[in-house]
């Protein structure tokens, strides 16, 4: 399987490099700057990064970026990101929002993926609950953990993942399901190690029929041999049967809820609709919208 790669630039040295060397590789300081920082560091008994900030050569954002390379925990700075600002896990991994995502990731690892599953659907009761953003950010944090992660946009009614990641959507899942494209159209996001995205593609007139085909199950089976985690973004549960079809094939669904917006009655109706089909249901309070 060939995967399209987007362009990125990262320092050649990673975990074996010191913070100073990484800042040099990133072009944040010069050799002359490094000498001044080292002298100041020794005088004040400080860490190199602290000394560099104190002298005004770099910012905390620069240090966090260098640390992300040193510990192989990739993210991109917001001002240089080509991603949507909704992808907080991609450019603000030290925020409280992303800490809640990492907690959710841990719960899913223990409650779902440790049971041998490779895929999970992510949906909501209705579109206001931000499941698209939750699916995207979950995919990012799983990839940052080192898991080979695939994000599939299976919302064939109102696809959004190509917008969040600023990707071309000329061909995607819908084209694969009807045999007009192959898995070569998957896009790897190298600025976020281990993350690959399959966009939705053209909006078909028959999304339920397409998702109900055996082709989708065969596709998931093939992907499970190549990826550790597969996040499948689905349309809202109460607005069509698409999400239930997907979740039934996958076995489980994560339902996104949003504080002060999601109706308890809607959430309960979505839960009952899925559990009535024997689908394992997980609930998440969405903190990224």
pLDDT of residue 115: 93
Pair 97, 63 in one domain: no
Averaged over 62-89, what is the pLDDT? 70
Is the confidence at residue 110, as pLDDT, over 50? yes
Give the rounded distance of the alpha carbon of 282 from its chain centre. 18
Domain co-membership, 257 together with 119:
yes
In a domain, 82, yes or no: no
Q: Of 72, 106, 121, at which residue does a domain stop?
A: 72
**Same domain, yes or no: 206 and 149:** yes
End-of-domain residue from the set 72, 102, 118: 72
Q: Please check whether residues 15 and 156 belong to one and the same domain.
A: no
128 and 204 together in one domain: yes
For the stretch 116-134, pLDDT in tens is 999 999 999 998 888 999 9
167 falls within a domain: yes
261 and 183 in a single domain? The answer is yes
**Percentage helix, strand, coil, to 5, in the chain?**
45, 15, 40
pLDDT at 61: 75
Q: What is the CATH number of the domain that holds 219?
A: 3.40.50.300
Question: Model-level pTM?
Answer: 0.77
Range of the domain at 29: 4-72
Residue 77 lies in a domain: no
Residue 27's pLDDT band, with cuts at 50, 70 and 90, is confident
In terms of Cα–Cα distance, which of 146, 139, 208 is closest to 167? 139
Q: Residue range 155-171: average pLDDT?
A: 95
Percentage of residues in the chain having pLDDT higher than 70: 89
Count of domains in the chain?
2
Residue 216 and residue 262 in one domain: yes
pLDDT of residue 92: 81
Band of the pLDDT at 16, cuts 50, 70, 90? very low
Q: What is the mean pLDDT of residues 216-232?
A: 96
The answer to whether the beta carbons of residues 148 and 226 sit under 8 Å apart is yes
Q: pLDDT, tens digit, for every residue of 226-268?
A: 999 999 999 999 999 999 999 999 999 999 999 888 999 999 9
Query: Do residue 185 and residue 105 come from a single domain?
Result: yes
**pLDDT tens by residue, 131-160:** 999 999 999 999 988 899 999 999 999 999
Residue 83 is predicted with a pLDDT of: 85
**Cβ density class 37-76: b for 16+ within 10 Å, e for less:** beebbeeeeeebbbbbbeeebbeeebbbbbebbbeeebbb
Would you mind telling me the total number of residues written for the chain in this entry?
A: 289
**Does residue 278 sit within a domain?**
yes
In a domain, 83, yes or no: no
Clarify whether residues 145 and 267 are in a common domain.
Answer: yes
Using the predicted structure, report yes or no on whether residue 21 has a pLDDT greater than 90.
no
Residue 19 in any domain: the answer is yes
Q: 239 with 280, same domain?
A: yes
In this predicted structure, what is the pLDDT of residue 62?
Answer: 81
| Shared domain check, 252 and 121 | yes
pLDDT at 270 over 60: yes
Rounded mean pLDDT of 156-169?
95
* Of 82, 35, 79, 89, the residue nearest 57 (C-alpha): 35
Task: Give the model's pLDDT for residue 10.
Answer: 45
Q: Does residue 110 sit in the same domain as residue 25?
A: no
Q: With respect to residue 107, please indicate whether it lies within any of the assigned structural domains.
A: yes
- Distance CA(226)–CA(221), nearest Å, equals 9
pLDDT of residue 5: 43
The rounded percent of the chain whose pLDDT value lies above 90 is: 66
């Amino acid at each position: 399987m060939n995967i399209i790669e987007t362009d990125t630039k990262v320092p050649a040295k990673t975990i074996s490099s010191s913070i100073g060397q990484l800042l040099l590789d990133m072009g944040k300081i010069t050799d002359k700057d490094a000498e001044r920082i080292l002298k100041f560091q020794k005088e004040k008994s400080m860490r190199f990064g602290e000394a560099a900030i104190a002298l005004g050569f770099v910012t905390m954002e620069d240090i966090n970026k260098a640390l992300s390379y040193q510990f192989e925990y990739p993210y991109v700075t917001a001002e240089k990101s080509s991603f949507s600002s909704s992808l907080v896990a991609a450019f603000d991994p030290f925020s409280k929002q992303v800490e809640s995502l990492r907690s959710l990731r841990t719960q899913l690892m223990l409650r779902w993926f440790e049971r041998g599953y490779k895929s999970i659907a992510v949906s909501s009761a209705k579109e206001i609950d931000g499941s698209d953003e939750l699916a995207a950010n979950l995919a990012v944090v799983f990839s940052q953990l080192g898991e080979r992660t695939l994000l599939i946009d299976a919302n064939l009614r109102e696809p959004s993942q190509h917008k969040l990641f600023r990707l071309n959507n000329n061909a995607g899942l819908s084209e694969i399901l009807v045999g007009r494209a192959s898995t070569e159209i998957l896009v790897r996001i190298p600025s976020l190690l281990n993350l690959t995205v399959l966009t939705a593609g053209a909006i078909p007139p028959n999304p339920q029929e397409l998702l109900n085909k055996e082709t989708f199950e065969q596709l998931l089976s093939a992907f499970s041999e190549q990826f550790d985690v597969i996040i499948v973004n689905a349309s809202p549960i109460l607005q069509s049967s698409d999400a239930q079809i997907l979740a039934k094939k996958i076995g489980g669904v994560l339902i996104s809820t949003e504080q002060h917006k999601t109706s308890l009655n809607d959430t309960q109706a979505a839960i009952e609709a899925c559990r009535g089909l024997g689908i394992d249901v997980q609930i998440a309070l969405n903190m990224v919208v």
